Amino acid sequence: MNPQKRLELSRLLSKLDRLNPDETLPIPDDTRAVGEAFRIGITGPLGAGKSTLINEITRQYREKDISVGIIAVDPSSPFTGGAVLGDRVRMYDLTLDEGIFIRSLATRGASGGLAASAIDAADILDAYSFDRIIIETVGVGQSEVDIVGACDLTVVVLEPGSGDSIQAMKAGLMEIADLFVVNKKDMKGADRFIMDLQSILEIRNHNRTHVLATSANKSEGISELLDWLENYFRQALANGSLLQRRNEQRIDRIKRAAETGVKRQLWEKIKQDDIIEFAEKGLPVRETARLLINGFIAKKG
């Protein structure tokens, strides 16, 4: 990507972060249709080596002349609202490659571990012809499962010896992971950890979820990981599961966008004085809410 296009892309992503929920960001006509890129979600606890793993994945993709867009979702600063960790600092050497584009986004309080604009940002990177899009989310936990609605597959990165076996047993993680990557496989106890994880998957009948071992800082296991990812994409395209997954994600995005728009309009129409007036009547809370909503619908009609 030439410098002019990169600047155009950067400005577009900056505008995206300032959009109101019901606004649409126009994408230039000379871009391609969205849906060509494969999207890989990578999540996992702090210290598991996600950034190092992404570095190595990206390097090997570039050796195959495959372009990569990276969206790194970091915790928000409580003072500025900006990203705290700034993965672009940790991945600085990758930014010199014209086939790589990295964007850090702050969660800004998003409970699902995913910035509100991250999916739209992935659409823009897709439109600008990146072949693979990697979305890295902050931390991992039972509630941080939004990444599954943004990607074609979800990779959960774990580290041996850090209590992750308990974390991995949580139902939320078991449901979202298409692949578990046990990084730092050279650590003591890694083999036992991998066996325990595989046993948990068998007990919970998650046979579709696979486990791979890597040592990203030594570039070990990365080529096998890329082979697995590319094979997954080929199969998902061939059997129609990729299209089905994307359609389900799109339906969910439409519903969320509609809910956000209705909620904003609701509180624009219903004033605080109206709520106080209803509350002072002593009616049950749910009945009061129903009356307010009915009044809102009547005004819209």
HEC per residue, 147-199:
HHHCCCEEEEEECCCCCHHHHHCCHHHHHHCCEEEECCCCCCCHHHHHHHHHH
pLDDT at 12: 92
- Give the CA dihedral 40, 34, 247, 264, nearest 10 degrees: 100
Adjacent-strand bridge partners of 301 = none
Q: Is residue 166 predicted with pLDDT exceeding 70?
A: no
Cα separation, 241 vs 250, whole angstroms: 14
Helices (H) and strands (E) in the chain, counts: 11, 7
Cα separation, 227 vs 224, whole angstroms: 5
| Complete domains list, the chain, with CATH | 3-239 (3.40.50.300), 252-300 (no CATH)
Q: What is the pLDDT of residues 202-231, one digit of tens each?
A: 887 766 789 999 999 999 999 999 999 999
pLDDT, average across residues 85-92: 54
Q: How large is the greatest C-alpha to C-alpha distance in the chain, in angstroms?
A: 70
| Mean pLDDT value across the chain | 83
pLDDT, average across residues 102-126: 76
pLDDT, average across residues 44-49: 84
pLDDT at 89: 55
Read off the pLDDT band of 273 (50, 70, 90): confident
